[in-house]
Amino acid sequence: MTATGTFGLSTEARNLQWLLGNLVEEVPGVRSVAVVSSDGLMLLSSDPEPPQGAASAEEPGAPRGPRGSSADLATIVSGIGSLTVGAARLMDGGGVKQTMVAMDEGSVFVMSISDGSLLGVHATPDCDMSVVAYHMALFVGRAGHVLTPEVRSELRKSLEGPR
């Protein structure tokens, strides 16, 4: 789980981390998960961030992380969210509840959380899409009321780590 650890986090923030961990561990085919704020910043992630000072993927000889890591996923989820909201406006479709992109080598699912945040999941091509969507809906139902402005701020700070 990406964060500076659970030390010093509120019960609500720790519960959200726990819910995200369960989503990754219990749903077959889930590769990575990210929760992104309405302004596009990652709040929660299933992938650990490299330690500070570790070699980056751009450096020669540095191991490259798998495509679909949570940092990449957060960027993709934010973009998909923005695109689908714009499309819904153009079509007078109302609010966007969920989006799914099926590819040859995997799927990306994006689901709205009540405060404008987004839950994104990168899954394997053979995942059961209905099971992934069901568990995402459970997460959204449990997390939506907990993701207050205070908790979002706390989660952002935990991702920034010590400066």
Band of pLDDT at residue 85, cut at 50, 70 and 90: very high
Residue of higher predicted confidence among 56 and 134: 134
- What average pLDDT does range 80-101 have in this prediction? 95
Q: Please count the residues of the chain.
A: 163
User: Does the residue 112 lie in any domain?
Assistant: yes
Q: Is the pLDDT of residue 105 over 90?
A: yes
User: Does the residue 55 lie in any domain?
Assistant: no
Here the CATH number for the domain that contains residue 108 is: 3.30.450.30
- Summarize pLDDT for 30-52 with one digit per residue, the tens: 999 999 998 888 999 887 544 34
User: Does the residue 94 lie in any domain?
Assistant: yes
Band of pLDDT at residue 161, cut at 50, 70 and 90: low
User: Does the residue 73 lie in any domain?
Assistant: yes
> Which residues span the domain enclosing 112?
11-47+68-160
Question: Which segments within the chain are labelled E, that is strand?
Answer: 30-36, 42-45, 98-103, 106-112, 118-123
Angle at alpha carbon of residue 63, lines to 61 and 65, rounded to 5°: 150
pTM of the model: 0.81
